[in-house]
């Protein structure tokens, strides 16, 4: 997760130059193939609902 956080922080840094406010953070470490997403599906859906403001 440390490496993921560094990447996210770099993106957020450049967002700052463009005056873009990030809507959240989600690090998907150890996801190299689409099959690996299945076990994180609920986490991804929850994150999307949160940034869209549709969480339950």
Q: What is the DSSP string of the chain?
A: -HHHHHHHHHHHHHHHHTTPPP------TT--SGGGGGGGHHHHHHHHHHHHT---
Q: pLDDT by residue (tens digit) across 3-13?
A: 888 988 999 99
Mean pLDDT over 43-54 rounds to 91
Overall pTM surpassing 0.85 (yes/no): no
């Amino acid at each position: 997760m440390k490496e993921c956080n560094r990447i996210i922080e770099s993106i957020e840094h450049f967002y700052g130059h463009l005056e873009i406010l990030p809507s959240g953070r989600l690090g998907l470490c150890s996801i190299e193939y689409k099959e690996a997403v299945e076990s994180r599906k609920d986490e991804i859906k929850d994150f999307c609902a949160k940034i869209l403001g549709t969480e339950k």
